[in-house]
Amino acid sequence: EIVLTQSPATLSLSPGERATLSCRASQSVSSYLAWYQQKPGQAPRLLIYDASNRATGIPARFSGSGSGTDFTLTISSLEPEDFAVYYCQQRTNWPPTFGGGTRVEI
Amino acid sequence: QVQLQESGPGLVKPSETLSLTCTVSGGSISSYYWSWIRQPPGKGLEWIGYIYYSGSTNYNPSLESRVTISVDTSKNQFSLKLTSVTAADTAVYYCARGLNNDAYTNDFWGQGTLVTVSS
């Protein structure tokens, strides 16, 4: 099973600042990595798939990069609604696995 | 806009079977993959398994001996059964749709339903 390690566990930032979240895989996942956002009491929301493709309706301030074992989710300028938990997920090997999450807090 | 809604008992006794149904509205269940994913309170996400509309399935090896996912295309529904539950199966259970022809990336999710395993 591929283990995804996200860092940092918590990111404390202010609205308007840039957020950089990291996801590292225990073995190569090629570009088969997605990012989800989850707010309290809500289901995860797909942001990025296949490392760098924005899902439908996702604002351009969200971008993803990386391949192999190291990936980054960047939020260029935080909006108040962006404070949430972010998960990465790989689909290279079965079963798909998720990282432990990064909380972006004010 | 596709919508998914989970339904089923919120409380299940230990050793019994957890049964949930996901009803899909606003679109057809055909030509997509459909998954169950769970999240214990305060913890991360775990994939349970998926089913293609044609009926083919794939389950997480950690749960495979206890899981069955089925589909009813006439009702636009798919279902989850998890047998011999314990407190460790207490979680919010989500149903979700695969993006395009991808079983593993999910673009539409249900709101989730909390299932508690307790006597």
At B32-44, the pLDDT tens digits run 999 999 999 999 9
**pLDDT tens, B70-101?**
999 999 999 999 999 999 999 999 999 999 88
Yes or no, beta carbons of B110 and A43 under 8 Å apart: yes
Please say if the pLDDT value at position A29 is more than 90. Answer: yes
- How far does the CA of residue B69 sit from the closest CA of chain A (Å)? 15
Which residue of B lies nearest to A47 if distances are taken between CA atoms?
A: B107
Backbone angles phi and psi of A49, in degrees to 5: -130, 155
**pLDDT tens, A42-90?**
999 999 999 999 999 999 999 999 999 999 999 999 999 999 999 999 9
Peptide bond into A95 cis (omega under 30): yes
Q: Are B98 and B22 in contact (CB under 8 A)?
A: no
Backbone angles phi and psi of B47, in degrees to 5: -75, 130
CA distance A44 to A41: 10
- How far does the CA of residue B110 sit from the closest CA of chain A (Å)? 7
Reduced to 3 states (helix: H, G, I; strand: E, B; else coil), residue B22 is strand
- How far does the CA of residue A78 sit from the closest CA of chain B (Å)? 23
State what percent of residues in chain B have pLDDT above 90. 94
What's the pLDDT at A36?
98
- How far does the CA of residue A38 sit from the closest CA of chain B (Å)? 11
CA distance B113 to B92: 5
The CA angle B13-B16-B19, to the nearest 5 degrees, is: 100
> Chain A residues with CB-CB distance to B under 8 A?
32, 34, 42-46, 49-50, 55-56, 87, 89, 91, 94-101
CA distance B19 to B68: 10
CA distance A4 to A34: 11
Q: Are A19 and A78 in contact (CB under 8 A)?
A: yes
Question: In chain B, what residues touch A89 (CB-CB under 8 Å)?
Answer: 45, 104-105
Yes or no, beta carbons of A94 and B110 under 8 Å apart: no
**pLDDT tens, B105-116?**
999 999 999 999
Which residue of B lies nearest to A35 if distances are taken between CA atoms?
A: B105
**pLDDT tens, B12-67?**
999 999 999 999 999 999 989 999 999 999 999 999 999 999 999 999 999 999 99
What's the pLDDT at B102?
87
